[in-house]
Amino acid sequence: TNYNFEKDKFYSLFVVGADSTFRNIVALDNFDSLSGSNGKAYIRYINAIPDSSRPVVKMSINGTAVVNNPAAFAGVSEFAAIDPGTIAVDISNDANIKASRNIEVVAKKAYTVLFIGKPGQTGGKELQIRFIENGTLADSNANR
């Protein structure tokens, strides 16, 4: 697959699939539109759980929902601004997909939550919620 990458832009590559069928997902990391001076952290997610359902992704801080959306397989959300602190993350389809964990997020940082694994599997292939820190945002968008 060919991709056209723009100069001075950031991208993430995710490889999703199961067994012997995989595909590449390229996401534009729109860091230039995220503020580092508003006291917020930013979070997005990718659903890499191979299943035909659209499990619901919920993220909340102190009981207040910041994300509550169905997530298609291989779908990457936009970054959402959130208050720093402990965020509760959950993915569920009320059937064979159910995972949750807490993640500590810090102001001026961007994160990607990874929903991975195969429903019903064990031995390292079970459903998991992992995350990566994409980076620290500058106070200003100027000269990026």
Would 42 be classed as within a structural domain? yes
Total number of residues shown for the chain: 144
Q: What is the pTM of this model?
A: 0.90
Q: Is residue 2 part of a domain?
A: no
Q: Per the domain annotation, does 24 fall within a domain?
A: no
In a domain, 18, yes or no: no
Q: Looking at the domain assignment, is residue 131 inside a domain? A: yes
Region 134-138 average pLDDT: 92
Mean pLDDT, the chain, whole residue set: 91
**Which CATH number do you get for residue 41?**
2.60.40.10
Task: Kindly state whether residue 21 falls inside one of the protein's structural domains.
Answer: no
Instruction: Please report whether residue 63 resides in a domain.
Output: yes
Judge whether 118 lies within some domain: yes
Q: Which residue has the higher pLDDT, 88 or 52?
A: 88
Which residues span the domain enclosing 97?
33-136
Domain total for the chain?
1
Render pLDDT for 34-68 as a digit per residue (tens, 0 to 9): 999 999 999 999 999 998 789 999 999 988 999 99
